[in-house]
């Protein structure tokens, strides 16, 4: 393998892993409290990462401007996370530790994450819980008043903190309230209904952004000393996903086109327990928290075309396929493993429901054991949501579930400081690639978003602000003018196409290509086919899409068109990344690389690296850079959940 290119210096500290973050923090430059107000930080996105970063930077005394795409920062998609947030508190006294959370996360990510980053995440996890409790997050409690924990997503310790089935909502509202306190104090300026369309780079450093005001249609320039992208993941490249409708790749893609490398874009997570697709009008998919797997048994009938309704099928005619294949982890195997196992049964013809693309998730035994009341207490809101969508009563009929796109581990490449390859451009939360490797464990996304925002970037940004010369810039500078012009020209071009097909139809077609060829299973030939399909679809989009032009101001279809145009460029990079990685790892399953038992087979000799892509122009082949991964503390092994 060639040596690490200089621009991919991870800046991970050396020395014993447990001391690295301390050592690094000590070595980072500090900014005098009186000087902090001279620095202006632009934060894009107000999910857990953005809201917690904005609040913490304002607490430190920086001037902060915050931009979000929704009508209120409280609606960022972190709000929809259900299950919980991990921390190594070991309150249940079951043997958890920072070391164990670190180990589980590196292993769960199938050895494709940086050890230094993951260790720091595990260390910080405990502080996050403390901070959230202090902010008034109403976590579940034991009768003695202490915080309650549960086991989640394949962990063999109970380290997950939760607030009913609405943990993301409660954490986000906590971070949002901390941010809004600083909006009230005047340290944060809040701009809602703004979409970031470009990063302005001056003398090689990120110094501002250009947004479109989604109400008036005006282009707005903002200059600052650092830009934080906290804009979430790109799961909606598949059209159908559990992401909210506004989730998109645009902010990070535009930053990528300005020089930020994109890392591991093919690492996407397919969540095993979602409500199956019901019709062609389907606009999104709904997750059923995997906490349900703690009390559910997943099965399909042993007989193909089984005519009996599920509750009339006796146990001997049921195939509890997760328990059969993975006796030690059973229904709690990690997400990628559970998803593939469900796909395998459905592909083999054992799926249920009208489409045959579903398996049963059954609570019968738990209800018999603990009573319906106990199950209602734990999962009442999830059962209610399921019943609303499907009109089935999951207390009496097993849920039907199928895997769906849920999270993207890939994202903009960042170093240990969460800084991208564009100096001054930091990337936090799901938008970066940093900590989850090739598969994210349950209840780890909330942890990472808040770690980045509360406890990492507030320190590491000092290294940038104190360490670099940052001459004054103004929104009237030529770089801003050029940026605004390019943004405006792209939108004007979309408005002028005047074709016949709706933007949504392009998005759906792109999603189908990606799901069929870059979803739960991928092959070299399928990926090559998909690449051609994407290129053809992108050409057609720019010739034949149709956006209502009656409104130059508030125009939701125009917003969607801009995002789909970016997805059509980004999708090709995802395909390229999946093509070059001919091993299987985590959520990336190449059919060419599997064990005799059909499990993902890694190839550490050839692929123990982060793939970081450099943009060379739309329609041109991107350049692949490799950051080698070294494992000093967790020896890579074939993951086994048997």
Partner 1 sequence: MSAPSHDAGSGRMRITLKIWRQEGPNRPGKVETHFLPDVSPHMSFLEMLDVLNERLIASGLDTVAFDHDCREGICGACSLVIDGRAHGPEALTTACQLHMRHYSDGDTIHVEPFRANAFPVLKDLMVDRSAFDRIISAGGFVSSPTGSAPDGNAILVPKPDADRAMDAAACIGCGACAAACPNASAMLFVAAKVAHLALLPQGQPERERRALAMVHAMDEEGFGSCTNHFECMAACPKGISVESIARMNRDFALSFLKEAPDLPTGSSVG
Q: Which of residues 328-357 bind partner 1 (CB under 8 A)?
A: 353-354
Q: What are phi and psi of 346, to 5 degrees?
A: -70, -40
Q: For partner 1, which is the closer residue by CB, 82 or 294?
A: 82
- Is residue 614 a contact partner of residue 263, using CB atoms and an 8 Å limit? no
Burial status of residue 632 (CB atoms within 10 A of its CB: 0-12, 13-18, 19 or more): exposed
Pairing of strands 194-202, 205-213: antiparallel
Beta-carbon neighbour count of residue 469 at 10 Å?
Answer: 6
314 binds partner 1, rule: CB under 8 A? no
Taking the C-alpha atoms of residue 125 and residue 110, their distance in angstroms, rounded to an integer, is 21
509 binds partner 1, rule: CB under 8 A? no
Q: Which of residues 153-172 bind partner 1 (CB under 8 A)?
A: 161, 163-164, 166, 169-170
State the minimum distance, in angstroms, from the CB of residue 60 to partner 1: 8
Beta-carbon neighbour count of residue 427 at 10 Å?
Answer: 31
Q: Is the dihedral of CA 135, 136, 140, 146 positive or negative?
A: positive
Taking the C-alpha atoms of residue 172 and residue 48, their distance in angstroms, rounded to an integer, is 5
190 binds partner 1, rule: CB under 8 A? yes
Q: What are phi and psi of 258, to 5 degrees?
A: -95, 10
Q: For partner 1, which is the closer residue by CB, 127 or 614?
A: 127
Q: Is the dihedral of CA 627, 628, 634, 640 positive or negative?
A: positive
Q: For partner 1, which is the closer residue by CB, 67 or 139?
A: 139
State the minimum distance, in angstroms, from the CB of residue 72 to partner 1: 5
Q: For partner 1, which is the closer residue by CB, 164 or 601?
A: 164
CA distances in angstroms from 445 to 84, 159, 244, 407, 452, listed in the order given: 9, 14, 16, 9, 11
State the minimum distance, in angstroms, from the CB of residue 77 to partner 1: 7
Q: Which of residues 119-138 bind partner 1 (CB under 8 A)?
A: 126-127, 129-136, 138
Number of residues that bind partner 1 (CB under 8 A): 92
Q: For partner 1, which is the closer residue by CB, 285 or 470?
A: 285
Q: For partner 1, which is the closer residue by CB, 70 or 291?
A: 70
Q: Which of residues 556-585 bind partner 1 (CB under 8 A)?
A: 556-557
Q: What are phi and psi of 613, to 5 degrees?
A: -100, 135
Beta-carbon neighbour count of residue 57 at 10 Å?
Answer: 27
Across 283-427, the runs of DSSP E, i.e. the strands, are: 297-301, 318-319, 359-362, 399-408, 411-412, 425-427
CA distances in angstroms from 400 to 82, 297, 505, listed in the order given: 18, 12, 27
Among 14, 35, 72, 623, binds partner 1 (CB under 8 A): 72
Taking the C-alpha atoms of residue 568 and residue 126, their distance in angstroms, rounded to an integer, is 40
State the minimum distance, in angstroms, from the CB of residue 142 to partner 1: 7
Among 28, 80, 189, 624, binds partner 1 (CB under 8 A): 80
Taking the C-alpha atoms of residue 197 and residue 553, their distance in angstroms, rounded to an integer, is 16
Q: For partner 1, which is the closer residue by CB, 59 or 603?
A: 59
- Is residue 115 a contact partner of residue 608, using CB atoms and an 8 Å limit? no
Q: For partner 1, which is the closer residue by CB, 177 or 486?
A: 177
Q: What are phi and psi of 198, to 5 degrees?
A: -165, 150
451 binds partner 1, rule: CB under 8 A? no
State the minimum distance, in angstroms, from the CB of residue 494 to partner 1: 13
Among 62, 139, 350, 383, binds partner 1 (CB under 8 A): 139
Among 4, 18, 97, 502, binds partner 1 (CB under 8 A): 502
* x/- letters, 204..223, toward partner 1 (CB under 8 A): -----------x--------
Taking the C-alpha atoms of residue 157 and residue 528, their distance in angstroms, rounded to an integer, is 42
Which residue shows structure tokens 């199956």? 276
* x/- letters, 385..424, toward partner 1 (CB under 8 A): x--xxxxxx--xx--x------------------------
Of 11-19, 69-77, 223-231, 565-573, which segment contacts partner 1 by CB under 8 A?
69-77
Q: Which of residues 258-287 bind partner 1 (CB under 8 A)?
A: 278-279, 281-284, 286-287
Q: For partner 1, which is the closer residue by CB, 66 or 337?
A: 66
Q: What are phi and psi of 257, to 5 degrees?
A: -70, -15
75 binds partner 1, rule: CB under 8 A? yes
- Is residue 493 a contact partner of residue 224, using CB atoms and an 8 Å limit? no
State the minimum distance, in angstroms, from the CB of residue 116 to partner 1: 22
Q: For partner 1, which is the closer residue by CB, 1 or 554?
A: 554
State the minimum distance, in angstroms, from the CB of residue 61 to partner 1: 11
Taking the C-alpha atoms of residue 561 and residue 541, their distance in angstroms, rounded to an integer, is 9
State the minimum distance, in angstroms, from the CB of residue 145 to partner 1: 3
Q: Which of residues 81-100 bind partner 1 (CB under 8 A)?
A: 89, 91
Taking the C-alpha atoms of residue 591 and residue 86, their distance in angstroms, rounded to an integer, is 32
Q: Which of residues 513-542 bind partner 1 (CB under 8 A)?
A: none
366 binds partner 1, rule: CB under 8 A? no
Taking the C-alpha atoms of residue 213 and residue 554, their distance in angstroms, rounded to an integer, is 9
State the minimum distance, in angstroms, from the CB of residue 571 to partner 1: 22
Q: Which residues contact 520 (CB under 8 A, 6 or more apart)?
A: 270, 339, 340, 343, 403, 589
State the minimum distance, in angstroms, from the CB of residue 618 to partner 1: 26
Shortest CA distance to 249 belongs to which of 262, 236, 268?
236
Q: For partner 1, which is the closer residue by CB, 79 or 634?
A: 79
Q: For partner 1, which is the closer residue by CB, 374 or 528?
A: 374
* x/- letters, 222..261, toward partner 1 (CB under 8 A): ----------------------xxx---------------
Beta-carbon neighbour count of residue 538 at 10 Å?
Answer: 21
77 binds partner 1, rule: CB under 8 A? yes
Q: Which of residues 35-64 bind partner 1 (CB under 8 A)?
A: 52, 55-56, 59
State the minimum distance, in angstroms, from the CB of residue 211 to partner 1: 16
Taking the C-alpha atoms of residue 437 and residue 627, their distance in angstroms, rounded to an integer, is 13
């Amino acid at each position: 393998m060639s040596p690490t290119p200089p621009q991919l210096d991870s800046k991970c500290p050396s020395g014993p892993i447990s001391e690295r973050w301390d050592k690094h923090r000590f070595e980072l430059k500090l900014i005098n409290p009186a000087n902090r107000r001279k620095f202006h930080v632009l934060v894009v996105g107000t999910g857990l990462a953005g809201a917690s970063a904005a609040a913490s930077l304002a607490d430190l005394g920086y001037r902060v401007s915050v931009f979000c795409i929704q009508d209120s920062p409280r609606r960022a998609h972190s709000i929809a996370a259900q299950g919980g947030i991990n921390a190594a508190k070991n309150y249940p006294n079951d043997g958890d530790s920072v070391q164990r959370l670190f180990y589980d996360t590196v292993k769960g990510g199938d050895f494709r994450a940086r050890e230094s980053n993951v260790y720091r995440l595990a260390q910080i996890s405990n502080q996050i819980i403390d901070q959230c409790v202090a902010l008034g997050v109403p976590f579940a409690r034991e009768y003695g008043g202490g915080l309650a924990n549960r086991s989640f997503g394949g962990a063999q310790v109970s380290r997950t903190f939760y607030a009913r089935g609405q943990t993301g909502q409660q954490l986000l509202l906590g971070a949002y309230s901390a941010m809004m306190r600083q909006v009230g104090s005047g340290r944060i300026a809040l701009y809602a209904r703004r979409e970031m369309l470009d990063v302005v780079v001056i003398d090689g450093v990120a110094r501002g952004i250009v947004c479109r005001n989604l109400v008036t249609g005006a282009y707005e320039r903002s200059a600052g000393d650092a830009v934080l992208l906290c804009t979430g993941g790109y799961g909606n490249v598949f059209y159908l996903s559990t992401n909210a409708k506004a989730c998109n790749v645009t902010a990070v893609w535009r930053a990528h086109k300005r020089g930020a490398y994109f890392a591991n874009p093919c690492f996407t997570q397919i969540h095993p327990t979602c409500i199956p697709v019901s019709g062609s009008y389907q606009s999104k998919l709904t997750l059923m928290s995997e906490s349900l797997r703690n009390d559910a048994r997943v099965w399909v009938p042993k007989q193909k075309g089984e005519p009996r309704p599920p509750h009339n099928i006796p146990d001997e005619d049921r195939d509890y396929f997760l328990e059969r294949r993975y006796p030690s982890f059973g229904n709690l195997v990690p997400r990628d493993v559970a998803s593939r196992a469900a796909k395998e049964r459905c592909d083999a013809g054992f799926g249920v429901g009208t489409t045959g693309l579903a398996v049963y998730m059954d609570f019968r035994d738990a209800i018999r054991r603990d009573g319906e009341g106990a199950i209602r207490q734990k999962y009442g809101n999830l059962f209610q949501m399921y019943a609303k969508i499907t009109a089935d009563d999951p207390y009496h009929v097993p849920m039907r579930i199928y895997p769906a796109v849920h999270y993207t581990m890939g994202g903009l490449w960042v170093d240990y400081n969460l800084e991208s390859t564009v100096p001054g451009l930091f990337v936090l939360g799901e938008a970066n690639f940093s900590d989850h490797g090739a598969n994210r464990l349950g209840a780890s996304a909330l942890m990472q978003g808040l770690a980045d925002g509360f406890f990492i970037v507030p320190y590491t940004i000092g290294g940038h602000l104190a360490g670099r010369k940052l001459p004054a810039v103004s929104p009237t500078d030529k770089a801003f003018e050029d940026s605004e012009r390019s943004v405006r020209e792209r939108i004007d071009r979309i408005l002028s196409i005047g074709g016949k097909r709706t933007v949504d139809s392009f998005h759906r077609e792109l999603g189908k290509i990606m799901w069929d060829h870059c979803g739960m299973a991928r092959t070299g030939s399928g990926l090559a086919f998909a690449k051609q399909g994407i290129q053809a679809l992108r050409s057609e989009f720019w010739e034949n899409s149709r956006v209502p032009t009656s409104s130059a101001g508030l125009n939701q279809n125009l917003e969607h068109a801009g995002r789909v145009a970016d997805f059509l460029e980004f999708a090709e990079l995802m395909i390229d990344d999946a093509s070059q990685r001919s091993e299987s790892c985590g959520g990336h399953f190449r059919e060419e690389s599997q064990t005799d038992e059909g499990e993902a087979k890694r190839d550490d000799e050839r692929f123990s690296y982060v793939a970081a892509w450099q943009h060379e122009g739309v329609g041109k082949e991107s350049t692949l850079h490799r950051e080698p991964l070294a494992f000093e503390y967790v020896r890579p092994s074939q993951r086994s959940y048997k």
